[in-house]
Structure 1
Amino acid sequence: MRFKKPQLNATRRRLDAALTIEDLRAIARRRTPRAAFDYTDGAAEEELSIERARQAFRDIEFHPAILRDVSKVDTSCAILGGRSQLPFGIAPTGFTRMMQTEGEYAGARAAGSAGIPFSLSTMGTASIEDVKSANPHGRNWFQLYMWKDRDRSMALVERAAKAGYDTMLVTVDVPVAGARLRDKRNGMSIPPALTAKTVLNALPRPQWWIDFLTTEPLAFASLDRWSGTVAELLDTMFDPTVTFEDLAWIKEQWPGKLVVKGIQTVADAKAVTDLGVDGIVLSNHGGRQLDRAPIPFHLLPSVVSEVGEDTEILIDTGIMSGADIVASVALGARFTLIGRAYLYGLMAGGEAGVRRAIEILSDQIERTMRLLGVTSLDELTPEHVTQLERLTPRAR
């Protein structure tokens, strides 16, 4: 018996104690004011979509093979014309420096170190060029919302191409903003509006406020300054008239790989694939748009069957563990994207927290693969996973 060597670095001590993404979420909740945490953690309406998406991953059964040599495991994969050391990348997220002041810079640096792609949102709080500087040798992807002002949209596309971003994610599920009720109740606005309730909630979290008030002022790097709620910004800015013809036009403007994010039906997966896009992301926007939307993980096998030979299929929404990622790959996804999982790490400890989130997921992926008896992602098949039924449609 011996005493454990003390860890004097408080951040390192806190992060070392986190063994799961849920642990990072608990730390993030303690350290972040409610409005910022709820913006990350919350979803639309009654938040049924995100609950169901997470439950779908819990409701799986793995089928391991025994007596296989799994002393060496390869977690790398090819995705959209390049390599990734892990079968996941960091999803585009908006308002990121509100959650923790290192924001996109922390995510980009951590992604670059891990050898995985980093995605910058149109609503990001770091510029296209600054993210490239933070991750100069890694893979950077840019996420585009089509604005009513098409010239401004295309200006962003040109900047991303010039900066060397290799993939563009066109998000298509935001004709209007979803009803994110936590944000409305918290008075979430840009810039943040201080109220007596906000100040009281912040008192136990002085470090967050010190960082927030002594670093670069918060703003969307791709926008002019805005005074209003996030939902009001979305409704003012985003174009509800975008059609498949517009998507085809965007594809002509972009020199790299083009992926359509927000696919929620087999028919739409087929339609955009027929346009010749390089990939699709099965996503309901993390449950933040239409509540009771389809569950991407449930949709995955049908989409793979329909278009899996013709385009690369990615998936997000509800991923909270490496086992979720392995199950997705087994059922035919080429790649996955993590949003909240990375943001919980960011709020828990800045760049070190993002690195910890990646480390947790990486360890879980490798361990799950070994326990399944596979040594590479290519060996995963639908035979390794059964989706157990909880919500089943009634006969019409």
Structure 2
Amino acid sequence: MAQSGSRTRVKVKRRIPHIGDLAALLKFRKPIFSAKKRRLTRALTIYDLRAIAKRRTPQAPFDYTDGSADQEISLTRARKTFEEIEFIPNVLRDVSKVDASVTMLGRKHSLPFGIAPTGFTRMMQTEGEIAGCTAAADAGIPYTLSTMGTRSIEDVAAAAPHGRNWFQLYMWKDRDRSMALVDRAKAAGFDTLVLTVDVPVAGARLRDVRNGMTIPPSLTSKTILNAIPRPAWWLNFLTTDPLKFASMDAWNGTVAELLDSMFDPTVTFEDLKWIRKNWKGKLVVKGIQNVDDAVKSVSAGADAIILSNHGGRQLDRAPVPFLLLPEVRKKIGKKAELHMDTGIMHGADIVAALANGANFTWIGRAYLYGLMAGGRDGVDRSIEILSSQVYRTMKLLGVKSVSELNPSHVRTINRFAK
């Protein structure tokens, strides 16, 4: 032992390492020969899946998924709100076993989130709605088919007969055509109708305008150049059945032109009451953005409402759904279930929404990023990522079941809160 001034130094004893010591350190991972499996395995977050999706998908369909309206403020605020919430965990709780299942509209689901309706889904990746509904069925969560879907009601029912399939309805100017879809959904065994009410006119989705996005995608010099580093997408697009809407006639214009030509700006709460009379299954109203409309929707017969600003794709500077939860919950009580979407990119977002008053949550982009990153396998990965984050967050909060979550577990500290 050597001393230097007032400090004591201990001399480290050295030795020659043994071969056995080195061998114990050399632990190589088993190689993953599938390129798709390799990239999905390395994706640890939904944002990782988004990065993969952006590399593999042409700009127009990627931006259709990724973008929102005008300056994209509504979406930015929704995500920022989730990022700036503060959890208040409880410690010294037995969380060796955690149950994330919920009973939602009369049926038990293994996780507290489902797949929201998304239009033009096969444009993002050729497996489209079939990848979504089969992944949801196998995960024990609900799947919602959009009116603007690229697979039919019957296709989804046949692909996922053991799943809980819902149908999302936009009320068209042609009421008979709208209700014909509802009748088909009923005949196919869909137990819930989701009426989307926030599209009297298409939002100003500027990315789509700048990209000249059409349905189906058109080949221009710009799209051809953009496709060169993304051959797999184009190979799938060109070698599978033509991309078209399964529930309506062919369309060769832009998305905004299609929406404006179809959707009825005269729809009122009287129409909601009329649908309630004509649909005997569960009825959900999606797109509620204030307390009064929530109360009116429940009074008109809604079994659940979804607080949603359409993922920021309609009105920019719209209310943040997460922030509406406590007041809406207080007003409607237990008269109807309260769901929400918009901005969910992490399992912690889901847990926060449940703690703040939601009975259930819905994902759109988070699922589509997985789809674009790897088809059905990518959807499975997105569900796997979110579910693992839900379980971990619940354990760290000290709760064993979703029913234990309450407002005492979360605090809103962002600048958009009152």
Into which bin does the TM-score normalised by the smaller protein fall?
over 0.9
Q: Contact conserved, 1:115 with 1:138, CA < 8 A, in 2? A: yes
Opposite residue 343 of structure 2, the aligned amino acid is G
Among candidates 167, 181, 186, match of residue 142 of structure 1: 167
How far apart are residue 35 of structure 1 and its match?
0.4
- Matched position secondary structure for 1:280: strand
Opposite residue 298 of structure 1, the aligned amino acid is L
Match of 1:285 in 2: 310
Match of 1:41 in 2: 66
Q: Does 1:387 align with 2:393?
A: no
Match of 1:180 in 2: 205
Aligned residue runs from structure 1 range 85-104, under 5 A: 85-104=110-129
Query: Unmatched 5+ residue regions in structure 1?
Result: none
Q: What percentage of residue pairs aligned between the two structures are identical?
A: 69
Q: Does 1:191 align with 2:216?
A: yes
- Matched position secondary structure for 2:293: helix
- Provide the rounded CA distance (Å) in 1 between the counterparts of 2:414 and 2:308: 20
- Matched position secondary structure for 2:339: strand
How far apart are residue 276 of structure 1 and its match?
2.2
How far apart are residue 88 of structure 1 and its match?
0.2
1:235-255 CA-to-partner distances (Å, cap 9, x unmatched) read: 000000000000100111112
Stretch moving more, 145-154 or 384-393: 384-393
Q: Contact conserved, 1:161 with 1:255, CA < 8 A, in 2? A: no
Q: Does 1:164 align with 2:180?
A: no
- Provide the rounded CA distance (Å) in 2 between the counterparts of 1:201 and 1:289: 27
1:140-183 CA-to-partner distances (Å, cap 9, x unmatched) read: 01000000000000000000001010111100000000010000
How far apart are residue 389 of structure 1 and its match?
2.9
- Matched position secondary structure for 2:209: helix
Count the aligned residue pairs: 393
Aligned residue runs from structure 1 range 351-370, under 5 A: 351-370=376-395
Aligned residue runs from structure 1 range 206-225, under 5 A: 206-225=231-250
Q: Contact conserved, 2:323 with 2:417, CA < 8 A, in 1? A: no
**Deviation >3 Å, runs of 4+:** none
Q: Contact conserved, 1:104 with 1:131, CA < 8 A, in 2? A: yes
- Matched position secondary structure for 1:234: helix
How far apart are residue 379 of structure 1 and its match?
0.3
1:249-283 CA-to-partner distances (Å, cap 9, x unmatched) read: 01111121000000000010011111121000000
How far apart are residue 391 of structure 1 and its match?
2.4
Among candidates 253, 262, 276, match of residue 251 of structure 1: 276
How far apart are residue 37 of structure 1 and its match?
0.2
Query: Unmatched 5+ residue regions in structure 2?
Result: 1-24
CA RMSD of aligned residues (A): 0.7
- Provide the rounded CA distance (Å) in 2 between the counterparts of 1:162 and 1:297: 35
Match of 1:306 in 2: 331
How far apart are residue 392 of structure 1 and its match?
5.0
Q: Does 1:4 align with 2:49?
A: no
Among candidates 319, 334, 358, match of residue 294 of structure 1: 319
Match of 2:83 in 1: 58
1:18-48 CA-to-partner distances (Å, cap 9, x unmatched) read: 0000000000000000001000000000000
Match of 1:330 in 2: 355
Q: Contact conserved, 1:308 with 1:332, CA < 8 A, in 2? A: no
- Provide the rounded CA distance (Å) in 1 between the counterparts of 2:333 and 2:206: 36
Q: Does 1:114 align with 2:143?
A: no
Q: Contact conserved, 2:312 with 2:318, CA < 8 A, in 1? A: yes
Q: Contact conserved, 1:313 with 1:334, CA < 8 A, in 2? A: yes
1:302-360 CA-to-partner distances (Å, cap 9, x unmatched) read: 11111132110000000000000000000110000000000000000000000000000
Q: Contact conserved, 1:80 with 1:167, CA < 8 A, in 2? A: no
Among candidates 36, 40, 43, match of residue 18 of structure 1: 43
How far apart are residue 134 of structure 1 and its match?
1.1
Q: Contact conserved, 2:81 with 2:416, CA < 8 A, in 1? A: no
TM-score, normalised relative to structure 1: 0.98
- Matched position secondary structure for 2:264: coil
- Provide the rounded CA distance (Å) in 1 between the counterparts of 2:317 and 2:214: 26
- Provide the rounded CA distance (Å) in 1 between the counterparts of 2:187 and 2:417: 47
Among candidates 95, 106, 124, match of residue 81 of structure 1: 106
- Matched position secondary structure for 1:119: strand
